[in-house]
Structure 1
């Protein structure tokens, strides 16, 4: 797996993406990845908590001189869509995702890659670790069971996240910033 990410930048993000690719994390199978996030937070001495739905929030204090900046929360979901090619032997409950690099393309060997939303999780973990970044107070929200109905996000209790501003890092288009979202509700009208 190390060969697949060798030379990719930012290196810290890809290091974490490779690490979380080793952890099965399909919807409703997120305990291990939730534990992993808590472990990373603990390793860097960051305050972290988890709720009953296995959502995790981690706080990173502001850099010196940025303490008065308003806190922002960076959010991504821990689960992934679990699909495999016909004839591929893979057990998403226990097998890691096998990363394959072809030029500048990173893919999985016969399964979904888990980039939705593994890239956001990896980026957040990298920001948690990187001491060179200058920033205000940060919260990182890792939600569960997004792929089957935003169940982790819908179970959040008031006060679990304290930031008044949140940036969701789950997007459909590279290099694009969305203001607003499609939402987690469906409305059915009849007339």
Structure 2
């Protein structure tokens, strides 16, 4: 499958035509044209700065790259406490085995499948592109809208370590209320979540020559549902690593 043709700036992808809210999907179409692997978000950061400059909005950036765009309160909300609205700008970059795509150069090719927007052979980047674009749509609302001062915070490198969030310069922010837009359940608000932990496991192995006459065997496990460890781990789905290990264990016995 060949990569899509060069995307044209300002041109709405056909897959997004007619979708509402129009501002959100317009921004998502533009964002999908910008390569943004984790730790390579420079082009998106430039795009966000241009967005702010074109609308006369103040922005600040910290030492690791996180950027906050400020919108004054409006419509009677001028003196309300500021609210932080946050999303991350990097995306998971995976593709099907038969898909030709360079995540450092190529735009995401959007397709519509019934009521769903998907990508053609690659990850979509809706995590957290939809959240980012929802924040941009908020920043564009007219002055007649009743809104508190907004501090729209866009963090880097969430997918491979949360380094943007961990190293955030909090001095850029005044708000005491933060709405994180990185969720799978649209319209619901979560007030707490499970934590996470990392483990580094090491096993010392001694290598030795394979016995004479040994034959190498390739074990491939495929066709499983997959899923996110933070959401689906309790559903007892097949795990390719565990299945492959079980096969090897049986062979050794």
TM-score by length of 2: 0.71
Q: How does 1:34-113 map to 2 (within 5 A)?
A: 34-113=45-124
Q: Closer, same or farther in 2 for the Cα pair 1:66/1:23, shift >3 Å?
A: same
Greater Rg by CA:
2
TM superposition outliers: structure 1 runs of 4+ over 2 Å: 172-176
SS of the equivalent of 2:60 reads strand
Alignment-derived partner of residue 147 in structure 1: 159
More strand by share: 1
Deviation at 1:174, TM superposition (A): 3.0
1:161 to 2:164 alignment: no
Structure 1: gaps of 5 or more residues: none
Alignment-derived partner of residue 30 in structure 1: 41
Deviation at 1:187, TM superposition (A): 6.8
| C-alpha distance in structure 2 between counterparts of 1:182 and 1:142, whole Å | 22
Q: Is the 8 A contact 2:85 2:153 kept in 1?
A: yes
| C-alpha distance in structure 2 between counterparts of 1:27 and 1:120, whole Å | 16
Alignment-derived partner of residue 182 in structure 1: 194
| C-alpha distance in structure 2 between counterparts of 1:81 and 1:20, whole Å | 14
1:130 to 2:145 alignment: no
Alignment-derived partner of residue 3 in structure 1: 14
| C-alpha distance in structure 1 between counterparts of 2:43 and 2:170, whole Å | 25
| C-alpha distance in structure 2 between counterparts of 1:182 and 1:159, whole Å | 27
Larger RCO: Structure 1 or Structure 2 (Cα < 8 Å, ≥ 6 residues apart)?
Answer: 1
Cα-to-partner distance string for 1:69-111 (whole Å, 9 max, x where unaligned):
1110100000000000111000000100000012221100000
| C-alpha distance in structure 1 between counterparts of 2:111 and 2:145, whole Å | 30
Q: CA RMSD in A?
A: 1.4
| C-alpha distance in structure 2 between counterparts of 1:134 and 1:63, whole Å | 5
